[in-house]
Amino acid sequence: TTPIYYVNDRPHIGHCYATLVADVLARFQRLIRGEPMGGAAFSLDNDVFFLTGTDEHADKVVTSAAANNATPQQWSDINAAEFKKAFAWIGATSDDFIRTTEPRHKDKVVAYIERLMASGDIYKGEFTGWYDVGQEEYLTDNAAREHEFKSPINKQPLVKRTEPCYFFRLGKYQEALLGLIQKADRFRVLPDSRRQEVLGRLKPPAEPLRDVPVSRPVTDDPATQWGIRIPGDPAHRVYVWIDALFNYLSVVDTAERRKFWPASVHLIGKDILWFHAVIWPALLLALGEELPRAIFGTGWWISEGQKMSKSLGNFIDIDTLHRYAAWSPNKDALPLGVDALRWFLATQGPLSGADTDFSIAKLVEVYNADLANGVGNCASRVGNMIEKYFDGVVPDPRGATAHTPAGHTVFDFAVLCDRALQGAIDALAEFRIDAALQQGIWLVGQVDLFINHTRPFTMAKEMDKVRAEGDSTRAAAMREELGRILYLCAEAVRIASLLVAPAMPEKMNQLWRTWGCLPPTGVALADLAAFGGSNGLQPGAQIAKGGILFMRADPKVPPPSSPV
Q: Which residues bind ligand MSP (CB under 6 A)?
A: 3-6, 14-15, 17-18, 55, 244-245, 268-269, 271-272, 300-301, 308
Strands 122-132 and 51-55: unpaired
Nearer to ligand MSP by Cβ, of 6 and 127: the residue is 6
Nearer to ligand MSP by Cβ, of 112 and 550: the residue is 112
- Nearest position to ligand MSP, beta carbon: 269
Q: Residue 318's closest CA among 3, 20, 545?
A: 20
Nearer to ligand MSP by Cβ, of 55 and 102: the residue is 55
Helix/strand/coil (H/E/C) assignment for every residue in 331-376: CCCCCCCHHHHHHHHHHHCCCCCCCEEECHHHHHHHHHHHHHHHHH
Smallest gap from residue 117 Cβ to ligand MSP (A): 21
Q: Residue 371's closest CA among 183, 553, 109, 178?
A: 553
Nearer to ligand MSP by Cβ, of 4 and 482: the residue is 4
Nearer to ligand MSP by Cβ, of 131 and 550: the residue is 131
Q: Which amino acid is at 528?
A: L
User: What's phi and psi for 555, nearest 5 deg?
Assistant: -60, -20
Max CA separation in the chain (angstroms): 99
Smallest gap from residue 17 Cβ to ligand MSP (A): 5
Smallest gap from residue 203 Cβ to ligand MSP (A): 25
Sheet containing 215-217: which strands, arranged edge to edge? 215-217, 233-238, 229-230
Nearer to ligand MSP by Cβ, of 251 and 488: the residue is 251
Distant-in-sequence contacts of 369-375, Cβ < 8 A, 24+ apart:
370/343, 370/441, 371/340, 371/343, 371/504, 371/549, 371/550, 372/550, 372/551, 372/552, 372/553, 373/552, 374/441, 374/444, 374/445, 375/440, 375/441, 375/444, 375/493, 375/496, 375/497, 375/500, 375/549, 375/550
Smallest gap from residue 60 Cβ to ligand MSP (A): 9
Q: How far is CA 501 from the centre of its chain?
A: 13
Q: Is 328 exposed, middle or buried (0-12, 13-18, 19+ CB in 10 A)?
A: middle
DSSP state of 68: T
Smallest gap from residue 285 Cβ to ligand MSP (A): 17
3-state secondary structure (DSSP) of residue 17: helix
Strands (E), 259-304: 266-269, 294-298, 301-303
Contact 533, 48 (CB under 8 A): no
Smallest gap from residue 418 Cβ to ligand MSP (A): 34
Smallest gap from residue 229 Cβ to ligand MSP (A): 20
Contact 403, 455 (CB under 8 A): no
Smallest gap from residue 348 Cβ to ligand MSP (A): 13
Smallest gap from residue 383 Cβ to ligand MSP (A): 37
Nearer to ligand MSP by Cβ, of 156 and 538: the residue is 156
Nearer to ligand MSP by Cβ, of 247 and 438: the residue is 247
Nearer to ligand MSP by Cβ, of 352 and 514: the residue is 352
Smallest gap from residue 188 Cβ to ligand MSP (A): 18
Smallest gap from residue 9 Cβ to ligand MSP (A): 8
Nearer to ligand MSP by Cβ, of 290 and 527: the residue is 290
Nearer to ligand MSP by Cβ, of 350 and 532: the residue is 350
Nearer to ligand MSP by Cβ, of 89 and 123: the residue is 89
Distance CA 284, CA 281 (A): 5
Strands 301-303 and 356-358: parallel
Residue 368: CB partners within 8 Å, gap ≥ 6?
552, 553
Q: Is the dihedral of CA 498, 501, 502, 505 positive or negative?
A: negative
Distance CA 460, CA 277 (A): 60
Smallest gap from residue 432 Cβ to ligand MSP (A): 17
Nearer to ligand MSP by Cβ, of 244 and 371: the residue is 244
Smallest gap from residue 258 Cβ to ligand MSP (A): 20
Q: Residue 535's closest CA among 25, 31, 26?
A: 31
* Residue 114 CB neighbour total at 10 angstroms: 14
| Number of helical (H) and strand (E) elements in the chain, helices listed first | 21, 17
